[in-house]
């Protein structure tokens, strides 16, 4: 869906990139971030962790495999990671409206338009990436010709984005003998699939739900968007959970929330990690993994107390990629072991978590 209107991506440092609009004809503002993955945009666009962000893709040709059908399977989206597109806007170099894929039912532009999401193509997205790498993540506006321009740069970090994307009521998936509580802070569908496939009944709760009232074998804390320090209610519930002995596993934002509950601090990364090729190493071993990542904040490992230790470390920049308790079955990772998209090197961590829950 190409509407042939001019569009511009304006960064808060004054940089302007001009292109052509596709998708919805609307102007928006948000945080400009980049993803270096070569594929997987249906999963990325529906990842709640991108809420409030203008996503810039460095891979030059986007749209050639269209968009899959909006089908449900076992109460979950079959080909997506949530019930809707979460990005504010999409910026690419070369948009391909003529898609070709066995599972495609519409073009990327049509899909964006149906969800009222604007896109822009014809930009030098690698130059945008260079700017944000050197100067740090920044706010931006996508302005479409003939549409009202946002009056200010909207900073999504000032909002509790988790409250916006989390489920509003308790939901149950699967019928296994193992009961796992999933604290939904913006959870991806494949986290649920990975647990159900391993024999679990997954009880998905809102981000601020007191999950201590649920009888279960273990607790999973999901990924999600925004500043982890906004989730004070979730952190307080996790603090109660770590006084007990039931296994806990956190993913992405879940790593940050578990760390805050353990007394550590978090900070905003200069430009975040968003790709399918982030190398990490398990602390104290030679075991390295290639992982999918999508986060803008990190845990300050130096602030962990003596009961906790690093679990994984990023091999590119040395930042924290997970924590674990030295004596209790509590652990978390900053990357996405459920992948979709990306490599599945780390999926074994679900096996380990399920094994802990069965003990």
Active site residues: 252, 336, 338
DSSP class of residue 169 equals S
Q: Which of 165, 124, 162, 110 is CA-nearest to residue 34?
A: 124
Q: Which of 100, 92, 121 is CA-nearest to residue 20?
A: 121
- Alpha-helical runs (H) found in 18-124: 41-45, 108-114
Distance in angstroms (rounded) separating the CA atoms of residues 113 and 23: 4
Q: Which of 90, 85, 69 is CA-nearest to residue 23?
A: 90
Distance in angstroms (rounded) separating the CA atoms of residues 320 and 303: 11
The H or E element containing residue 326 is: none
Q: Percent helix, strand and coil across the chain, each rounded to 5?
A: 25, 35, 45
Distance in angstroms (rounded) separating the CA atoms of residues 211 and 205: 7
Using CA atoms, how far residue 114 sits from 75, 144, 181, 240, 273, in Å, is: 22, 17, 33, 43, 29
Q: What is the largest CA-CA distance in the chain?
A: 62
Task: Describe the crossing of helices 253-261 and 232-241 by its angle, rounded to 10 degrees.
Answer: 60
Distance in angstroms (rounded) separating the CA atoms of residues 274 and 278: 8
The strand pairing partners of 73, in sequence order, are: 76
Distance in angstroms (rounded) separating the CA atoms of residues 14 and 243: 49
Task: Describe the crossing of helices 189-196 and 348-358 by its angle, rounded to 10 degrees.
Answer: 50
């Amino acid at each position: 869906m190409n509407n042939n209107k001019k569009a511009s991506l304006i960064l808060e440092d004054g940089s302007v990139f001009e292109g052509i609009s596709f998708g919805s004809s609307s102007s928006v503002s948000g945080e400009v971030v980049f993803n270096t993955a070569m594929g997987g945009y249906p999963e990325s666009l529906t990842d709640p962790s991108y809420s409030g962000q203008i996503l810039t893709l460095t891979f030059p040709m986007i749209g050639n495999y269209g968009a899959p059908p909006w089908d449900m399977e076992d109460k979950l989206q079959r080909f997506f990671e949530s019930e809707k597109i979460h990005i504010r806007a999409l910026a690419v170099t070369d948009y391909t409206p003529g898609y070709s894929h066995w599972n495609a039912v519409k073009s990327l532009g049509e899909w964006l338009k149906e969800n009222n999401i604007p896109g822009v193509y014809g930009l030098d997205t690698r130059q945008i990436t260079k700017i944000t790498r050197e100067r740090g993540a920044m706010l931006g506006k996508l302005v479409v010709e003939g549409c009202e321009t946002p009056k200010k740069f909207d900073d999504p970090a000032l909002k509790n984005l988790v409250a916006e994307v989390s489920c509003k009521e308790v939901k149950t998936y699967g019928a296994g003998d193992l009961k796992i509580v999933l604290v939904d802070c913006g959870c991806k569908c494949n986290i649920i699939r990975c647990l159900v496939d391993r024999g679990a009944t997954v009880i998905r709760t809102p981000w601020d739900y007191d999950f201590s009232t649920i009888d279960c074998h273990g607790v999973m804390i999901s990924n999600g968007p925004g500043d982890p320090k906004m989730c004070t209610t979730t952190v307080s519930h996790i603090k109660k959970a770590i006084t007990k002995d039931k296994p806990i596993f956190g993913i992405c934002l879940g790593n940050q929330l578990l760390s805050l509950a353990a007394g550590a601090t978090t900070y905003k990364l200069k430009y975040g990690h968003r790709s399918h090729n982030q190398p990490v190493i398990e602390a104290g071993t030679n075991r390295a993994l290639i992982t999918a990542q999508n986060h803008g904040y990190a845990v300050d490992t130096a602030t962990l107390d003596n009961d906790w230790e690093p679990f994984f470390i990023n091999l590119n920049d040395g930042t924290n990629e997970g924590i674990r308790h030295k004596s209790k079955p509590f652990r978390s990772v900053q990357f996405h072991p459920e992948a979709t998209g990306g490599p599945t090197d780390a999926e074994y961590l679900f096996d380990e978590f399920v094994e802990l829950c069965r003990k």
